[in-house]
A and B are shown apart, each in its own frame.
Chain A
C-alpha cells in the first residue's frame, strides 16, 4: 500500500466525467430536464473524483475485499 497521490483537479477528470455523463444521457436522458442533467453532472464529478482517489492508492495482490463471500449450502 502506498500513500495516495494528490487529488486530481476537476480539469483532469473532465473527459471521464463527460464520458460518464454521455452514458447517463443515453440511458436516462429522455426523462431528465436540462437542469437535472446538470445536477447529474455535478454528482458524476464527485463520483469520478472519488474513483481517482481510490485508484491512487496501491494495493498488493493479497489485499482482498473487506467482505468475505461464503459458500452456501441449505441444511442439512
Chain B
C-alpha cells in the first residue's frame, strides 16, 4: 500500500475502512513496516507486535466483509505505552532494564477494550523507565535509549510517554495510548506536535497498567487531532470492576461543536511567566483564535503550594509502589544514574506530611472547580518551552526545577486536559496549547480543542525527513 494513509486522522481512516476502500490488513502492514523501519531512529518502539497485529487485522477485515462493523476504530492500528500488560508472550517492560523479559498472561483493560473496538495493536511503545517516577534528570532514562523527537533528532520526545508521542508524530501509528501521572501525556504531545488527552481520573481503567501513583495515574490517547483523541477515549472509557476508582459515567464524543458555539475561556494569572518567548507569543496568537469562538478572561487561584501538594503525593506513592525495587537495590539496574539512588530520599517523607498533601488536595480540587465552574476551560501553554535537547538536563516540575501550576492542579485534582499544537518555537520545534476542564468535562475540552483546530492548521504540519 502506498503511504498516503500516513498522517490521515483516525476518523478518516475509519470511514475508508467502513466503506471497504481500505484494507485493515494492508493498513497494518504499512504501519508495521514503518514501525520496524523508522521506530529505531526515534527509539520509539520496544516491541513490534506483528503477529498479533496481523491476526487482529485479518479478523477485522473478515468481520467488516461480513457486515459486522464495530465502529470507528475497527481495523485501525495503534501502539500502547509499554506499561500496559499484554498477553501472548509480548513483553511488558515498563521501560526498565530489570523488567526487559517480563511477560504477563493477561491484557490490561484498555488493551482489551481497544480489541473489542476492533483496533489493531501494532507495537508496545517506549517510555521513560518506570514512567519517570524515580527522579530522572535526563532524556536518556530508558533501556531503549532517549526518546528522539521526529522534528529534530537532537531533541527529546518525552516524557514519559516518549514513544507514544514520537510514534504518532512520525506516522508510525495513527494513535497511541499513553499514561500521565504528572505531564506524561501532555508533555510528549506538546514536544512532538500531536494531540494528547489526559482524561479525568477514574474515566479510564488502570487495571493492568503499571502503578506509579495510585491516586494520580491516568491513561489516555495521543493522536493527530483532538477529534481522534475523543474517538479513542470513547473506546477505552468506562467503569471496570477491576479498577474500583473507575466510575459509571457515560462518555460520548461528538465529532464537532455545533456551528456558532461560543466558549468562555479562562487564563490563570501568570500563566506564561516561566515560558520561553516563542511559547508566550504562540500562546498570545492562540488566544486571538480563541476570541473568534468565545471570550477570554484572566482568573486566579488562591495562593497555595500546588506543586508541593502534587509532588509530595507523587513521591510518597511512587516510593511505596516500588518499595520492593527500591529496598532490594534492584533500581541499580535502571538506565539513568540518578534513577538508581534518588528514590532513597523519599524515606524522608513523613506520613503526616503525605496526609497533609492529601487534605490540601481536597482544598485544591474545590478551588479549581470553583474557578472552572463558570468557564468551559482554562487555557495555557501546554509546555513552557520547546523540547529539551537530548544532551541537556530536563527541567521538571516534579523535581522542582520548573513550575507547573496547571499540571499540579490538573493532575492533583484529576482534571481532564487536552493539548494540541499551536506553533513552532525558536528552534523549529512544536509548541502547544492546553485546554483544562472540570471533572468529567472531556466533551467540553475536546469541543473547544476541535474548534481551535478547525481554525488552525498546525496539526496538519508534520516533521520532514520521515521516509
Is A66 in the interface zone, CB < 8 Å from B? yes
Is B215 in the interface zone, CB < 8 Å from A? yes
B359 touches A65 (CB 8 A): yes
A32 touches B311 (CB 8 A): no
> B356 touches which one: A32, A39, A55, A67 (CB < 8 A)?
A55
CA–CA, A44 to B215, complex, Å? 23
A51 touches B341 (CB 8 A): no
- Asked whether A24 and B342 contact (CB < 8 A) given A4-B303, A31-B329, A57-B360, the answer is no
By beta carbon, the residue of chain B nearest A1 is: B363
Task: List 26 contacting pairs A-B, 8 Å CB cutoff, sorted by A.
Answer: A23-B347, A23-B348, A24-B344, A24-B348, A31-B329, A32-B344, A36-B340, A36-B341, A43-B135, A46-B311, A47-B345, A47-B346, A48-B348, A50-B307, A50-B308, A51-B350, A51-B353, A54-B357, A57-B356, A59-B359, A59-B360, A64-B362, A65-B355, A66-B363, A66-B365, A67-B361
List A residues at the B interface (Cβ < 8 Å).
1, 3-4, 20-21, 23-24, 27-28, 31-32, 36, 39-41, 43-44, 46-51, 53-57, 59, 63-67, 70
Contacts of A24 in B (CB 8 A): 344-345, 347-348
Which chain B residues numbered 319 to 339 have a C-beta less than 8 Å away from chain A? 329, 332, 338
Contacts of A1 in B (CB 8 A): 363
By beta carbon, the residue of chain A nearest B357 is: A54
CA–CA, A49 to B353, complex, Å? 11
Min Cβ gap A42→B in Å is 8
**Chain B: interface residue count, which band?**
35 or more
B312 touches A40 (CB 8 A): no
- Asked whether A44 and B363 contact (CB < 8 A) given A4-B303, A50-B312, A54-B309, the answer is no
A54 touches B363 (CB 8 A): no
Min Cβ gap A74→B in Å is 12
A66 touches B359 (CB 8 A): yes
Contacts of A36 in B (CB 8 A): 340-341
By beta carbon, the residue of chain B nearest A53 is: B305
* Most chain B beta carbons < 10 A, residue from A46, A56, A63: A46
A32 touches B341 (CB 8 A): yes
CA–CA, A3 to B356, complex, Å? 15
Contacts of A28 in B (CB 8 A): 344
Q: A31-B332, A41-B345 are in contact. List 9 more A-B contacts (CB 8 A).
A: A24-B345, A32-B344, A43-B345, A48-B348, A50-B400, A51-B353, A59-B363, A66-B362, A67-B215
> B362 touches which one: A41, A43, A46, A65 (CB < 8 A)?
A65
A54 touches B360 (CB 8 A): yes
By beta carbon, the residue of chain B nearest A63 is: B359
CA–CA, A24 to B347, complex, Å? 7
CA–CA, A16 to B417, complex, Å? 37
B361 touches A65 (CB 8 A): yes
A43 touches B342 (CB 8 A): yes
CA–CA, A63 to B358, complex, Å? 10
Contacts of A57 in B (CB 8 A): 304-305, 356, 360, 363
Is B399 in the interface zone, CB < 8 Å from A? yes
A66 touches B358 (CB 8 A): yes
Contacts of B31 in A (CB 8 A): none
> B303 touches which one: A3, A31, A48 (CB < 8 A)?
A3
CA–CA, A57 to B365, complex, Å? 15
> B349 touches which one: A3, A51, A56, A66 (CB < 8 A)?
A51
By beta carbon, the residue of chain B nearest A65 is: B358
6 pairs of A and B residues whose beta carbons are closest in the complex: A66-B362, A43-B345, A65-B358, A20-B348, A66-B361, A53-B305
A39 touches B342 (CB 8 A): yes
Contacts of B312 in A (CB 8 A): 47, 50-51, 54
Contacts of A70 in B (CB 8 A): 244
CA–CA, A8 to B345, complex, Å? 19
Min Cβ gap B314→A in Å is 11
A66 touches B305 (CB 8 A): no
Contacts of B345 in A (CB 8 A): 20, 24, 40-41, 43-44, 47
Is B364 in the interface zone, CB < 8 Å from A? yes
Is B315 in the interface zone, CB < 8 Å from A? yes
